[in-house]
Structure 1
């Protein structure tokens, strides 16, 4: 979507929301180099490098002016069609002229009738949206949790809460986490200030986006997206106390665990589904087994898998480190990563992570590893992205020589 004409056509087809992406980006200074994922944007739009960010010349006023022109064009087209407001044009498919489209040789034989179908309604019936969606927030479990956590929210007094949970309870912890961030900013609260234990089966997105200071313990199982966008909080998932099965042989959570997590920790005593830690960029996650596509597109953080992995492990992984017990090399996508032995400088860190995991979940797998650590360490493989390894070596050199790590990284990128 680039012009006011595009907006009007979309509205006539029934659209009430309009998304612009590339055009405002170009207005802000983007030159379409297509290196957004490399942190080498030459105009400072898509980069965290301070030297490149100095090259950014965009201003909010540029985008504002762009949308003013869009609005002006929309206004002129609506006037020519006889509409006073954009919402009056929503769904008015009879105002669309299709002859030029279907007569074009590329659209020969194209039937637009399904797109231009007009609903059989009484005259005067409003075609645009007039009713707000009910997302069920009034009945959300988080409202109860927020009330119970008042002492922590108001006076920073640590509190422990117990609660049941059902698979219809989605995004549990997110509203409470939002309340913490609203009151205390991005730093949140000290670890475990609000410590909640749940029993049952959690719905999708359990613990999504939770910040520092919020710890969620779940005794039971969980659906997909647990820990999505984790922002400093802690999530501990383990089987119910009455469970008798072997956790490392049974699935306890769904797919896409830890998607887009930035900080915090996820400890899962059990096996999870596909795309574990996809796009993780800073959190620490430990689990007893994963499905296919583990650590896909991971850019930072740590993943420890104390069990089997599925196929295509580490695909598109450009940062962070994964540690896998008894790894089958055939399951690893070798395009961007190397399989290495755990280095001496990383061994103590891995041991500490597994120790924390054992303490929080009482995992038998973790306990057995720690009992004979020096021998079992050889069973753990380190999955390290090649580009990330180069960056780490540059940073280490900068620390040794007292140089600027950013300058050395830029020199390496520019050859």
Structure 2
């Protein structure tokens, strides 16, 4: 059916008075796969009224239940937090600039989250900021041209992090082939349980290191997974954290060959002990 953008418009209509007054507010909606670009108009209005990150301290929170159509959370602005119980189609978080998108399967789902897709293809395309947590697998071309978003997902298809120039991607499951092709910035943490991830990487511009050899990155990674669990209730994340000494040795760090590993986190002086406190 043709999408008239009713849910997208409804979200803006209900949130607008609170945006004008810089007041945080929470909303609840059901969502269907014909509801496309939900959140786009709200983000546009916030950016127009207060700037891209104008409501980051007083967020509008919207909880959805169901299956989201394409481009859920597109151009997400700072101050927009979208929580979805269900799943979503392609282009989740496309061009997102700030805020938060968290997606989890329904309580009591029989499948293991890292073995089932929860979001579609080309998610986080061209994102410049914000955070995306998805307790399940993403499709192909995940994080293509990402230049600033931070994300945790539980598996991806082919061509992940292609042409990525910034941001942080954490993958708690299997990846497809041609990972990191044309990647010139940012970095990725990838769980390599089967030991064959290096065969799936495009080695032209990136190199693969072991997180186990990088104490600061190990603590940073644990902090990201902790946030993932907090926002999605991920059983996969809980399993990894509960068996950290075992899983930590299986994570790879993928970075551009031109990047200094000591500068990736932007805080050369920060110790592993400091990051460990944040992760707890």
TM range (shorter): 0.7 to 0.9
Determine if the alignment matches structure 1 residue 368 to structure 2 residue 239: yes
Could you tell me which of 161, 164, 175 is aligned with 2:41? 175
Question: Which has more helix, going by share of residues?
Answer: 1
Aligned counterpart, 2:200: 331
Say which one has the larger Rg.
Answer: 1
In structure 2, the CA distance between the partners of 1:150 and 1:242, relative to structure 1 (3 Å rule), is farther
SS in structure 1 of the partner of residue 216 of structure 2? helix
C-alpha distance in structure 2 between counterparts of 1:245 and 1:234, whole Å: 25
C-alpha distance in structure 2 between counterparts of 1:333 and 1:190, whole Å: 37
Give structure 2 stretches of 5+ with no counterpart: 270-280
Aligned counterpart, 2:76: 210
Aligned counterpart, 2:274: none
C-alpha distance in structure 1 between counterparts of 2:234 and 2:3, whole Å: 37
C-alpha distance in structure 2 between counterparts of 1:313 and 1:158, whole Å: 39
* Residue deviations 1:331-364 (CA, integer Å, cap 9, x gap): 1111111110121122221111110001111111
Aligned counterpart, 1:341: 210
Q: Is the 8 A contact 1:338 1:386 kept in 2?
A: yes
Once the 2 structures are TM-superposed, how far is the Cα of residue 192 of structure 1 from its aligned partner?
6.3
Once the 2 structures are TM-superposed, how far is the Cα of residue 285 of structure 1 from its aligned partner?
1.0
The 10-residue stretch of structure 1 (161-170 or 325-334) with the greater mean CA deviation from structure 2: 325-334
The alignment of Structure 1 onto Structure 2 pairs a total of residues equal to 262
Determine if the alignment matches structure 1 residue 153 to structure 2 residue 22: no
C-alpha distance in structure 2 between counterparts of 1:230 and 1:252, whole Å: 18
In structure 2, the CA distance between the partners of 1:221 and 1:396, relative to structure 1 (3 Å rule), is closer
Please give the TM-score of this superposition, normalised by the length of structure 1.
Answer: 0.60
Question: Which has more strand, going by share of residues?
Answer: 2
Once the 2 structures are TM-superposed, how far is the Cα of residue 391 of structure 1 from its aligned partner?
9.7
Aligned counterpart, 1:385: 256
In structure 2, the CA distance between the partners of 1:263 and 1:378, relative to structure 1 (3 Å rule), is same
Aligned counterpart, 2:54: 188
C-alpha distance in structure 2 between counterparts of 1:304 and 1:191, whole Å: 25
Please give the TM-score of this superposition, normalised by the length of structure 2.
Answer: 0.88
Q: Is the 8 A contact 2:3 2:34 kept in 1?
A: no
C-alpha distance in structure 2 between counterparts of 1:339 and 1:178, whole Å: 38
Could you tell me which of 340, 354, 361 is aligned with 2:225? 354
C-alpha distance in structure 2 between counterparts of 1:140 and 1:323, whole Å: 38
Alignment of 1:262-341 (within 5 A): 262-326=128-192, 328-341=197-210
* Residue deviations 1:228-276 (CA, integer Å, cap 9, x gap): 0010021111112353221111111110010001110000111111011
SS in structure 2 of the partner of residue 231 of structure 1? coil
In structure 2, the CA distance between the partners of 1:160 and 1:325, relative to structure 1 (3 Å rule), is same
SS in structure 1 of the partner of residue 260 of structure 2? helix
C-alpha distance in structure 2 between counterparts of 1:166 and 1:187, whole Å: 28
Aligned counterpart, 2:276: none
C-alpha distance in structure 1 between counterparts of 2:58 and 2:190, whole Å: 28
Higher relative contact order (CA 8 A, sep 6+): 2
In structure 2, the CA distance between the partners of 1:389 and 1:357, relative to structure 1 (3 Å rule), is same
Once the 2 structures are TM-superposed, how far is the Cα of residue 151 of structure 1 from its aligned partner?
4.0
Displacement over 4 Å in runs of 4+? none
Aligned counterpart, 1:198: 64
Once the 2 structures are TM-superposed, how far is the Cα of residue 396 of structure 1 from its aligned partner?
8.1
In structure 2, the CA distance between the partners of 1:191 and 1:274, relative to structure 1 (3 Å rule), is farther
Once the 2 structures are TM-superposed, how far is the Cα of residue 389 of structure 1 from its aligned partner?
2.8
In structure 2, the CA distance between the partners of 1:192 and 1:383, relative to structure 1 (3 Å rule), is farther
Alignment of 1:34-113 (within 5 A): none
Q: Is the 8 A contact 2:74 2:95 kept in 1?
A: yes
C-alpha distance in structure 1 between counterparts of 2:47 and 2:244, whole Å: 39
Aligned counterpart, 2:126: 260
Q: Is the 8 A contact 1:237 1:361 kept in 2?
A: yes
